[in-house]
A = this chain, B = another copy of it.
Amino acid sequence: MTTPAPVISTEQAMLRFLVAAKPPVVPPASSTRRQILETAIRLFAEDGYAASSMRIIADACGIRAPSIYEYFGGKPELLIAAMTEVLSDFQAFIRQVVDLDLLPEQQLEQIVRQHVTWQVSFAERAGAWDSLAAAHTLEKHLEADQVEVFNGLRQLYLDVVTSLVAEAFPGPHPVLRSRALLTLCDRTTAWAESNETPTDQLADQAWALGSAALRTSF
């Protein structure tokens, strides 16, 4: 299942990541469609796929279930659209701070801070404490080939982070250390001792914990 994970060059990883920015295939254009999508994102993340029936999603939008079929082919398709929307949004947000001219450690810090910032906004958008755990749960309901598409997109991001970690914090197990760093980014929001902790402070904490852990020698 897992390969020995060759670490590609930072430049190559970043270029691949940047190039994956495609305009959405179907422009939204309809506000009802948009509302259904946002509601689905929130309910799927909060309550899970099975617990969010088409009727419940529709009611939350002020419409009836059959109307959803005007915009989406069915429930699985709605799930794919919701997950695609979230993943694309995340990667576009990260792309804003990708800069080939930054030093590796500075680039890594920028990405960590942007990641934490996005996570805070996702928690507000979807009411979910952990976007990655939610995604993993939801993927149980998808076909294997669709899961591969999402994993491929995530891998582009993981490659960027891994190559930066390997450059900025040389040492063994760069993949494992990258995953640890990204988990800190995903979860720091949920660990906050108060809901009013400012985002900047959460980003500080994630980077402090993460950069310390990255200096680990095994």
Contacts and interface: CB of A to CB of B under 8 A. Distances in A.
Contacts of A137: 48, 133, 137
Given A50-B51, A137-B137, A177-B209, A218 B191 contact: no
Contacts of A210: 213
Interface stretch (A72-80, A91-99, A101-109, A178-186): A178-186
Chain copies in the assembly?
2
A195 B208 CA distance: 30
Contacts of A191: 175-176, 179-180
Contacts of A213: 209-210, 212-213
A88 to B, nearest CB: 23
Contacts of A205: 173, 176, 218
Nearest 3 A-B pairs (CB), nearest first? A50-B50, A133-B133, A213-B213
14 contacts: A1-B195, A2-B193, A2-B195, A5-B193, A47-B140, A50-B51, A129-B136, A175-B193, A176-B192, A177-B209, A209-B216, A210-B213, A212-B212, A212-B216
Interface of A: 1-2, 4-5, 47-51, 129-130, 133, 136-137, 140-141, 173, 175-177, 179-180, 183-184, 187-188, 191-195, 204-205, 208-210, 212-213, 215-218
